[in-house]
Amino acid sequence: PTGLRALADRADLRIGTAVDMAALADDDAYRAAVAREFNTVTAENVMKWEATEPQQGVHDWAAADRLVDFARANRQKVRGHTLVWHNQNPAWVTEEAFTPAQLRAVLRRHIIDEVTHFRGKIWHWDVVNEIFNDDGTWRDSIWLRNLGPGYVADAFRWAHQADPKVKLFLNDYNNEGVNAKSDAYYELVKQLKAQGVPVHGYGVQGHLAVQYGVPADTLTNLRRFEKLGLQTAFTEVDVRMPLPADPIKIQAQAQGFTALLQACLLADRCVSYTLWGFTDRYSWVPGVFDGEGSATPYDENLSPKPAYAALRDTLALA
């Protein structure tokens, strides 16, 4: 076997990508690569609340269902992303429209509706996304302001109630290594476990940049969460660079991708490694980071870059 998927199958690792549903519909080469290279998929946007419930009580599951159908046809698992976030909430979810008690009921309804809709079809749910700041304090959000930090335990309990078999994950960025943010997660997981809250996984997004490097204690960090009984996963890996690309940046990028893959393969319970898009043709990076890009293993023409070969060579050793 030579593609990422075949090598990952052999190594008993789940390798995934975020999927852009417009590209999946319109771009044959993109669609073929999603099926060929990956055994897991994540919806880049279409399972987010703004997409699934544009008006209160009016659901639109069509795009998300198309991804679930694609995954089933191609024997892929689905990572559900994401139930509770400060971003991409529906326009109708506001503090002006609802009291705190109503917001709690609205959030509960959303989680139960969405997890129930996909019951039995989702492998992991990212239950809460990006709940801490980099300094380890709670991130301000409509949920924190109105419900307090207890919304996290509630969200996990509601999700578990709606689908008792699905694995429930925390998910964040800049939490690869041991730092203030990952320390905050470590303390939170201990508390949640002590309270009997069903939390099963620690998701590390893995949005790296060549100019910042790879945290050297990533494996140490994964291991401490695994010792608490959690699975770990890399959920959104990409390695951006200041443009233009040059050979050193391209090499550093390949090393960034493989460093995280090695950490996953060296850890005891790292169950998946997902790219946040696999081709520069559709990457979110240039739209958000001025002057940066080239963040994925395939270029705009869907030709593999050195990062692709590096991932393949690492998987081949596993």
Return the DSSP state at 55.
Answer: B
In this structure, are strands 201-204 and 231-242 parallel, antiparallel, or unpaired?
parallel
Among 45, 74, 220, 262, binds ligand G3I (CB under 6 A): 45
284 binds ligand G3I (CB under 6 A): yes
Is 37 or 44 the residue whose CB approaches ligand G3I more closely?
44
Is 205 or 314 the residue whose CB approaches ligand G3I more closely?
205
Residue nearest to ligand G3I (CB): 284
Q: How far is the CB of 276 from ligand G3I (least distance, A)?
A: 6
Catalytic residue among 226, 236, 292, 300: 236
Cα–Cα distance, 142 to 145 (Å, whole number): 5
Q: How far is the CB of 205 from ligand G3I (least distance, A)?
A: 5
Cα R_g (the chain), whole angstroms: 19
Is 120 or 287 the residue whose CB approaches ligand G3I more closely?
287
Is 174 or 218 the residue whose CB approaches ligand G3I more closely?
174
Per the CB < 8 A criterion, the answer to whether 251 and 274 are in contact is no
Interface pattern 73-102 for ligand G3I (x via CB under 6 A): --------------xx--------------
Catalytic residue among 44, 114, 130, 176: 130
Q: How far is the CB of 44 from ligand G3I (least distance, A)?
A: 5
Interface pattern 213-242 for ligand G3I (x via CB under 6 A): -----------------------x------
Angle at 121 between CA 117 and CA 124, to 5 degrees: 100
Among 8, 34, 44, 197, binds ligand G3I (CB under 6 A): 44
Tokens representing 261?
């893959």
Tokens representing 120?
């039995």
Sorted by sequence, the CB contacts under 8 Å of residue 215 that are 6+ apart come out as 176, 177, 178, 179, 221
Helix 218-227 with 247-266: angle, nearest 10 deg: 20
Is 205 or 258 the residue whose CB approaches ligand G3I more closely?
205
176 binds ligand G3I (CB under 6 A): no
| 236 catalytic residue (yes or no) | yes
Q: Name the amino acid, one letter, at 220.
A: T
Per the CB < 8 A criterion, the answer to whether 41 and 68 are in contact is no
Return the DSSP state at 86.
Answer: S
Q: How far is the CB of 165 from ligand G3I (least distance, A)?
A: 24
Return the DSSP state at 38.
Answer: -
Helix 180-194 with 151-162: angle, nearest 10 deg: 60
**Active site residues per annotation:** 130, 236
Residues binding ligand G3I (CB under 6 A) = 44-45, 87-88, 129, 205, 236, 284
